[in-house]
Amino acid sequence: MFDKVLIANRGEIALRIIRACNELGLKTVAVYSEIDRDALHVRFADEDICIGTNPPNESYLDFKRIIAAAEVTNAGAIHPGYGFLAENADFAEVCESCGITFIGPTPQQIRQMGDKASAKSLMKAANVPVIPGSEGVVGNYQDAAIVAKEVGYPVILKAVAGGGGKGMRICRDEAELERGFHIASTEAANSFSNPDLYLEKVIINPHHVEIQLIGDTHGNYFHFGERDCSIQRRHQKLVEETPSPLMTEELRARMGETAIMGARGVDFRGVGTVEFLVDEKRNFYFMEMNTRIQVEHPITEEAYEVDLLQDQLKVSMGEKLTYRQEDIRPKWHSIECRVNAEDVEKDFRPTPGKIEAIHVPGGPGVRVDKAVYAGYVIPPYYDSMIAKLIVRARTREQALAKMRHSLEQFIVQGVPTTIPFHLEILGNQDFIAGNYDTSFIETKFRPSTETKRKTITLKRSGQSEEAEKPQAVEAEAVAASDKSTE
């Protein structure tokens, strides 16, 4: 049991954790780097402590400084949020050894699911369908070629320790496999300090559908349906929605039961997400399990009227979950757009700089999770997401209309954002019809001249000189960003 939580994160997720803690009567401690001194999570926490300079490896990724901050402030628990140390088994182990509750699964569970090849083997043992491919790591190109011949091209090479599209290569024939193996292995080593790869058959035009689940320490497991994360650019999620346009009651039940079966197989506890690829015939295959709260968790909260952060905290305090699976049904349709400070015209280059003015939409069924404000300077060291815009309505058609209106009323001056890009997606006829998969951005979507014009206009109207500087992100920040296609 604990009564004070240190939040080892920043930005909107730190504020979200503070709110959940406040509602449960828990005290909070914010940690921050020097450049985050004026950040909102520092202002709203009960206590705050500076843990270092701006690069993540000297602050938000520094085990010793975070543990020391917890000990100095007598925090009995650490919530890692997402990114940074959220899925670092070594950090969870250090917390355990220091008598501090790590709000998440056990170090062993993080380690098992963090190694993609290991996770796939464990899920297969739990009778969860997996994508045909290698049994564990492929040690060299020759071994990869043997597996590729067995499952058939195209195949994809993936980093066992990776995510976010890094250390991945699609290979359509043996020549591409030979070239791609070296490139993917080198990229994996540079991004994750682990060059190991595994190989899978490519599922053509799949939906990327994830199941939100939670398990307590009393053996209870529940799932809260799916989130469709198929709208992606370079394996990075842009728009998420629930329910998925392809979902049926029967498919949801099967996928949910399968996800829980996998979680039971590793005795998982806490909030987690099992990610699947769903093919054109609605067959689904395990892709990975995220052992933390997801960026896109708000759409599940809105659609199912639950508080996943509070549940996560309660599980860590040893409380028993009291849901009944038959009562857990989506009550709303919910959509999320991630608003990033990025220049669409420059290949989505991050644009740190000063926000001169900001107006966010409101009204029933509109939620904005953010930590920026007028005068806030977006630092060049961290993720470019500045807000999550979430809407809910009774039908998908109503939710789409509400999201379009909300995006039109979302004004950010000073830096370019992805808002015009999101508006273009929301206006695309294939997206409106629910006729999309993970290839949507590459095959069905072409930003119009109007989108480009709006982006350029926004940039000229207020972008500071600071925003034109290249993003000075450390390698650690890239590696610590949301692990999956988050």
- The residues that are catalytic are 292
Q: Report d(CA 112, CA 265) in Å as an integer.
A: 11
Neighbours of 394 (CB within 10 A): 11
**Torsion-angle region of 132 (φ positive above 0: left; ψ -120 to 50: alpha; else: beta):** beta
In sequence order, the 6+-apart residues with CB closer than 8 A to the CB of 171 are 148, 153, 154, 155, 156, 157, 177, 180
In 3D space, the residue among 309, 312, 297, 263 whose CA is nearest the CA of residue 112 turns out to be: 263
Residue 258 has a CB neighbour count (10 Å cut-off) of 21
One-letter-per-residue 3-state SS of the chain: CCCEEEECCCHHHHHHHHHHHHHCCCEEEEEEEHHHCCCHHHHHCCEEEEEECCCHHHCCCCHHHHHHHHHHCCCCEEECCCCCCCCCHHHHHHHHHCCCEECCCCHHHHHHHHCHHHHHHHHHHCCCCECCECCCCECCHHHHHHHHHHHCCCEEEEECCCCCCCCCEEECCHHHHHHHHHHHHHHHHHHHCCCCEEEEECCCCCEEEEEEEEECCCCCEEEEEEEEEEEEECCEEEEEEECCCCCCHHHHHHHHHHHHHHHHHCCCCEEEEEEEEECCCCCEEEEEEECCCCCCHHHHHHHHCCCHHHHHHHHHCCCCCCCCHHHCCCCCEEEEEEEECEEHHHCCEECCEECCEEECCCCCCEEEEECCCCCCEECCCCCCEEEEEEEEECCHHHHHHHHHHHHHCCEEECCCCCHHHHHHHHCCHHHHCCCCCCCHHHHCCCCCHHHHHHHHHHHHHHCCHHHHCCCCCCHHHHHHCCCCCC
